[in-house]
Each structure stands twice: as structure tokens, then as C-alpha cells.
Structure 1
Amino acid sequence: MPGTVLLLAASPVGRGRLVDAASVLPVLAAVDPAVLSGTDTANVVELADPLEPQAVLTRLRAAATAPGPLTVFVTGQLQLDRKQHLPHLALARTTPATVRYTAFPWAWFREELRLRAPGTTTLLLDLHTDAETWQWLRAHPLDSGRTNAVYGRIAPPPARRSVAVPSYMKAVATILRSGWRPPVEQLHQQAVGRLGAEGYADVVLAAPGSVGAGSVGAGVPGGFAPRPPSALKGPRPQTPDGLDFAGLSGKSAPQGQESAPQGRSQVNAPPSHDNDPHIAVASAAQAGRHLDADALAAEHEQAAVRAHGRGSEEALHWIEVRADLAMLAGDPVRSCRAWLAVAAARLAAGQSPDTAAVEAAVDRAHHQWGQIHDPAPARELGLTLAELRSRVPGRRAGALDHVRKQLLQLQPQG
């Protein structure tokens, strides 16, 4: 039976573009359709920077009703709408203010694919996020359907005034251009392996298509980056007044319910969406007021230290938030230093080196260290990172060797 392949690459035109999504399509288009699908023959539908959500829905619906295996390749950027705070795939005309009307709701993937037979649908994703969506993912899985196999990566926001490259999907396409498609799990692992240090901060998606699969946010054995620390199993960090700190952007509103206005919380206010202090922090960061955002997060960190202790989950959570804020502000030195501090604190508290939260902290420190261009702080932090890497090697082979080789290159010449 022939297969069906949907190639979808979308990102906004202009200043809102975070990733050059369409650049991957020529590489994917050069792959034989049967190899893309993993079947003897296949029909391929290509959507490059589509303008209208309904046009994408029409193509997705047609692909979903086709008999035989379906493989969907999605490259682009995720953004939240301002009303319900739900994830959307940004399209060519999408702006932060028009997400609800010009972007493709991620829930439509789940709805259109839900009637397909289990085991017949595979999604390969290379997604980038803005700051708000990256923090939203700390607390919410990206639900792509319970019976769909989902592989790929979600990357944090790129550096300011830069456009990212869909490296994961290009790696997938390059592997497939050999003319042979390995089992999708192997294909995914090979692509992740080619990302190198670039992928150290990513959320790696690997849901093989069973009950619960597709609600993705977890790491994958042999992959590298587990889900962000605040999305890990176990108790979520609590503020002194009991508010749930689930991520900078707070909780998303339930389907059909309008979220409350954004604003800074009061310490003893009742727990509700507009009282979540993460919203004020995220708003300041999104507006480019990075010092204000960090100062506000520092206030909550100190409050958590006073109430729960310096090594508490509550305090560590706010250090993680400040590490992300430093990354968004383009300050890899400060971000790396914060992630190293989190990792050291977790180890000192008795957490195992293979604990997901410990690995995540070291992975992100490693990623930010690779962005440092000043040799002096790179050497200083690199020595600390190497010591941590000897204790926390992570899930991708060669991480410690990478640090050691980079440190040798950073030695003063003379």
C-alpha cells in the first residue's frame, strides 16, 4: 500500500521569524518519496510558508484520510495565542498579536489524526520557540495525539537578532538522501547525534506511539536533553504563599476559557493566572527589559531562600528561571554560571548524577558555555564544566571529550 508524506515548513515573514524553516524543504524534496515514507511508493504534499491556517488544515485532513502509512515532517516555530495561551505553529503572516487568527493551532494535529489506526502515523518535528512558549513547555506537554509516533526536537529561542537553522530536520534529510530509511528510532538517534553541542539545550522528543505518546516533553535514552526541569515528575516548586510556579508564563487557560489579564502578582494574593509572578517576568523579558526581568526573578529567588533554604527546589527553580533569562538576554556567561550552580547544588543535596534534573542543568550549562566567545570566562567556566561532566556525563557520548578539546583550544598561545 502506498504511503503519504506531508512536508510542512512554516515561519513568519519579517522580524518575528525565529527559524528559517523553508530552507529544509529543498533537502527533503531531494529525497525519494518512498524513502521519505518508508513504503514502496508514496505521495508527497509540500507546504512551504503557507499563509492561511485553513489551507494547512485542508492538506492535513486530506493526508489524514489517505490509506496507508502517513509521515508528517513539521519544521517551524511554536507561539502561544494571547487569549487561551495554547500553542500554535506560526505561519507566514503570524505576529504575536495575531497568533489566534493567523497561526495553525497545534491541537488540530491531534484532532485530525486521532481517527487513524494506531501505528500508522509518524511525526518528525523540528520546532523552535519564543521565550513565552519555551517557558510554557516547562509545565505542559506538547500533545500530538495518543497513538502517533513523535520524534524530533524543540529548541529554545535563538540569540537576539538571529534566525536559527532547522539543523535536526536537515540532518534527517541528509541521512535519508543516502537512499535508505532506517527504522524511525534509529533515524532520530542519528539526527540527534549530528546536532552536537547545538542541541544540548533542546527538548528531545521520542514518543513511539503508545498510550500517552505524543504528549511529549520527555528525554529519550541515547538522546540528550530531557524535558525542562520544572516539567519533571515530582512536586512542583511552591512559593511561600503556595502559588504553583510551573513556568514563566504561568498555566495555560482551559480550552474555551479566556485567560485573566497579565500583571505582577501580590505575595499573599489567591492563586490564579494573573497572580503568577512568572507572567510579569516573561512580559519584561519579551519587552526587552532583561535587567528588570532578572531583578524580579531575583526577588522571588531570595524569598524562596528565606522561606525554604538555599538548596530547596523553590530556590533552585528561580535560579533556573534566571539562567533562562540570561540566555534570552544574550548573556551566555551568566546563564552558564547559573546552570552550573544548579547542577552543583542538586548533586550536593544528594541527587544522583543520572537524575533528569541534574542532567538537564549540566546539558544547559554545556550549551551556554559553547556560546561564550571571551576566552577568559570560557576557560574559567570550562574547568568547572569539565569537573561536572566527569560526574554527569549525560546521555550523549562524547560530551566530556568535547569540553576537554575545547579547553585545550582555549589555552593561551605562547
Structure 2
Amino acid sequence: MPGTVLLIAASPAGKGCLVDAASVLPVLAAVAPSVLSGTDTANVVELADPLQPQAVLTRLRAAATAPGPLTVFLTGQLQLDRRQRRPHLALARTTPATVRYTGFPWHWIREELRLRAPGSTTLLVDLHTDAETWQHLAGQPLTGGAGVALYGRVAPPPPRRAMAVPTYMKSLATILRSGHRPPLAQLHQQALTRSYGEDPDSARRDLVLAVEPRYRAGVPMPAPATVHGYAAAPAPAPMPASAPVPGPAPYLAAVPMPAAPPVTVPPVTVPPPVPTPAPAPAPADPHAEITAAVQSGRHAEAAVLAEQWERTALRTYGPGADEVVHWMEVRADLAMFAGDAELSCRIWLAVADARLTAGQPSDAPAVEAAVDRAHHQWGRIGDSARARELGPALADLRGRVPGRRQGALDDIRRNLSRLGTQVSP
């Protein structure tokens, strides 16, 4: 299956620029697409100094929904927005005062990648920061999501009036130009060694990122109680890679009993031991199976699978667990893909409520994303009665979770007024 490669180099124009991000693109472009991706063939998309967050989002979303492995090479600088203090990738028009509206939020990356099959996505990053963002990230490191491998480095601000060089990403590209792509951890270490050889001081300053996926490909959560109508025993928990592979159970050797004179004990024939049956193969990745069903138009089957996994997660981890909420989000997206805006809205409302009940703050990225998606799907409901039914609950939730869109609550009230429903201010 072909892979997808997304090359992103972003930095602000003018004096706010800390790193010459675009300088890495010619070096990466000289690498064969198959080597960049680690697959036989690959599609490569390049974004050089993008202007608008929506342009980056469109490219990332298209790459995230493509089948096969996805590798993102990301070079640029991070800045915090002043209101919610979240890291953003600074784009060409970003200034310290406009980060919230002109930068690309890092949590959007996690959101777009969260439904990909675990182990199929790699983020390779070379990021630079200003002093404020550097202090923030020292206590709250970047992550790519549960199923995403994240490798690279985050560098502190360069000396005043100096422009940093993305030496880590250039080292990656130089290694890959040989035509050989080592395993990710080895490639990462080689790039660090090479880049720090050019700038030894960086080795003492940088935050090095080397995060493996929480859920590995082929090792999902315990299998549902029923799959396609057949009973299935819960899958055993995966063993660590270093654990020995269990062999057949040991057999007891036949120990002859001492003969008690004058009685002669006749010989006893011991039947040969029966070999232990081979362990059942590991269950297939549920995300890949669901994705295949959606791509072939089998939306009902995809929804049933997701419901089974959600019930299993509920039995295994309990209400409100991350695993349960994850499968609720999957079901919400599946309803959207199937064109059922009402169901998608209902599930996103439930997701937001579950996250808030679990104690997540109203400005948490995942909470805001759930409410934004519920709002978006509500606007697509064609049945006025159904929209009136869900509107007050959405308005109440939007009152607690304003989100990044100014006037979102007013938009709901205007539409409910048009539908003939009054909402308390």
C-alpha cells in the first residue's frame, strides 16, 4: 500500500522569525518518496511557509484520511497564544499578538491524527521556540497522540539577532538521501549525533522527543465480546517486547515407583504427551477494519463494530475512561461519514459532557473540539424538529465551553429563534 508524506516548513515573516525553516525543503525534496515514507511508493505533499491555518488543516486532514502509512516532517517554530497559553505552529503572518488566530494549534494535529490506525503515523519534528514557549514546554512536553510515533527535538531561542538552522531535520534528510531508511529510533539517534556534531552546545539545551505509540499496530484493546455474531474470549494483555515467548507447558517425567518385595509391579505404559495448541493469532486492528468498512460504503457495519468496541472498553475500563471516550468519538465521526448529522451531534454532546464530568477544564482542547463538532453537525440537521430538540442542550453546553469561535453561542440562539425555540440568556 502506498504511503503519504507531508513536508511542512513554517515560520513567521520578518523579525519574529527564529528559524530558517524553508531551507530544509530542498534537502528533503532530494530524497526519494519511497525512502521518506518507508514504503514501496508514496505521495509527497509540500507546504512551504503557509499563510493560513485552514490551508494547513486542509492538507493535514487529507493526509490523515489517506490509506497506508503517514509520515509528517515538520520544521518551524512554536509560540503560545496569550489567552489560553497553548502552543501553536507559527505561520507566515503570525505575530505574538495574533498567534491565536494566525497560528496553527498543535492540538489540531493530535485531533486530525487520532482516528488513524495505531502505529501507522510518524511525526518527525525540528521545532524552535521563544523564551516563553520554551519554559512552557519544559513542564508540558509535546505529544502526538496515543497511536502516533513522535521523534525530533525542540530547541530554545537562538541568540539575539541570530537565525537558527534546522540541523536535526537537515541531518535526517542527509541520512535518507543515501537511499536507506533505518528503523525510526535508529534514524532519530543518527540524526541527533550528526546535528550535535555540528553544534555541540545544542545537545545540552534541546528537548529531545522520542515517543513511541501508546497503542501499537496489531495490538489493540481487548476484543469485543462478540464479533460478527461469534462469541470471542477476551484477548490477553500484550506482553512487553523483552518478555520470553511462552513455550508448551512442561510435562512431568514418569518416575518408577520402587517395587515392594515380593510383589512385582507390572510395567506401566505412559501415553505420549499431547502438545499444547498454538496460541490464537492476535486480533486485527479494529481501526483498520472500521476504516475499510467506511471506504467501501458499509457504514452500518462500521457503526456496529465501533459500538462493540465501546461496550468492551466500558466493561474493561469503566465509565469516563479515555478508551471509552475514544470509541464514542469514533462513533460520532462514523455517523458524520454516514450523513447522520443528528446522531453525530448527539454523540459529540455526550463526549463533551463525559469529558467535563471527568474533570477536564472547559478550555481543554478535546472538550472544545467536541463542542465545536456538535455545533457543526447541529447546523447540518435537516429536520427542524430534531434541531429544536437538540438546540437547548447545545446552547447550554456552549455557554460553558465558548471555544475559539467568537459569537458561537449567539449563532445558536439566532438559529433557535428562527426555529421558534426560546433559549434563556
TM-score, length of structure 1 as denominator length: 0.51
Q: 1:208 aligns with which of 208, 212, 215?
A: 212
1:383 aligned residue = none
2:372 aligned residue = none
State the shift of 1:253 in Å.
9.5
The answer as to whether partners of 1:124 and 1:151 remain within 8 angstroms in 2 is yes
Match status 1:199 vs 2:203:
yes
1:262 aligned residue = none
1:108 aligned residue = 108
State the shift of 1:186 in Å.
0.7
- Listed as ranges, the matches of 1:34-113 within 5 Å are 34-113=34-113
State the shift of 1:86 in Å.
0.2
- Listed as ranges, the matches of 1:326-405 within 5 Å are none
Measure the CA separation in 2 of the matches of 1:78 and 1:194: 24
1:237 aligned residue = none
Q: Helix, strand or coil for the counterpart of 2:205?
A: coil
State the shift of 1:211 in Å.
5.1
Q: 1:255 aligns with which of 364, 375, 380?
A: 364
The answer as to whether partners of 2:149 and 2:213 remain within 8 angstroms in 1 is yes
The answer as to whether partners of 2:9 and 2:76 remain within 8 angstroms in 1 is yes
Q: Helix, strand or coil for the counterpart of 2:139?
A: coil
- Listed as ranges, the matches of 1:247-326 within 5 Å are 254-255=363-364
The gaps in structure 2 that reach 5 residues or longer are 217-360, 369-425
Measure the CA separation in 2 of the matches of 1:177 and 1:69: 20
2:178 aligned residue = 178
Measure the CA separation in 1 of the matches of 2:162 and 2:186: 31
Measure the CA separation in 1 of the matches of 2:138 and 2:175: 31
Change (3 A) 1:164 1:171: same
Measure the CA separation in 1 of the matches of 2:215 and 2:3: 23
The gaps in structure 1 that reach 5 residues or longer are 213-251, 259-414
State the shift of 1:40 in Å.
0.1
State the shift of 1:254 in Å.
4.2
Identity of aligned residues (%): 74
State the shift of 1:194 in Å.
1.0
The answer as to whether partners of 2:118 and 2:215 remain within 8 angstroms in 1 is no
Measure the CA separation in 1 of the matches of 2:138 and 2:170: 26
The answer as to whether partners of 1:21 and 1:166 remain within 8 angstroms in 2 is yes
**Amino acid aligned to 2:162:** S
TM-score, length of structure 2 as denominator length: 0.50
Moved over 2 A (4+): 252-258
Q: Helix, strand or coil for the counterpart of 2:168?
A: helix
1:125 aligned residue = 125
2:31 aligned residue = 31
State the shift of 1:140 in Å.
1.1
CA RMSD of aligned residues (A): 1.9
**Amino acid aligned to 1:203:** L
Measure the CA separation in 1 of the matches of 2:178 and 2:204: 26
> What is the aligned length?
219
Q: Helix, strand or coil for the counterpart of 1:72?
A: strand
The answer as to whether partners of 1:3 and 1:69 remain within 8 angstroms in 2 is yes
State the shift of 1:189 in Å.
0.4
Match status 1:166 vs 2:170:
no
State the shift of 1:255 in Å.
2.8
What does the per-residue CA deviation read over 1:316-339, in whole Å, with 9 as the maximum and x for residues that have no partner?
A: xxxxxxxxxxxxxxxxxxxxxxxx
Measure the CA separation in 2 of the matches of 1:173 and 1:108: 26
**Amino acid aligned to 2:133:** T
Measure the CA separation in 1 of the matches of 2:55 and 2:23: 20
The answer as to whether partners of 1:119 and 1:209 remain within 8 angstroms in 2 is yes
Higher relative contact order (CA 8 A, sep 6+): 1
State the shift of 1:138 in Å.
2.1
1:147 aligned residue = 147
The answer as to whether partners of 2:143 and 2:150 remain within 8 angstroms in 1 is no
State the shift of 1:141 in Å.
2.2
State the shift of 1:210 in Å.
1.7
Larger of the two Rg values belongs to structure: 2
Measure the CA separation in 2 of the matches of 1:126 and 1:62: 22
State the shift of 1:53 in Å.
0.2
State the shift of 1:209 in Å.
1.2
The answer as to whether partners of 1:84 and 1:253 remain within 8 angstroms in 2 is no
Q: Helix, strand or coil for the counterpart of 1:178?
A: coil
The answer as to whether partners of 2:125 and 2:151 remain within 8 angstroms in 1 is yes
Measure the CA separation in 2 of the matches of 1:184 and 1:169: 14
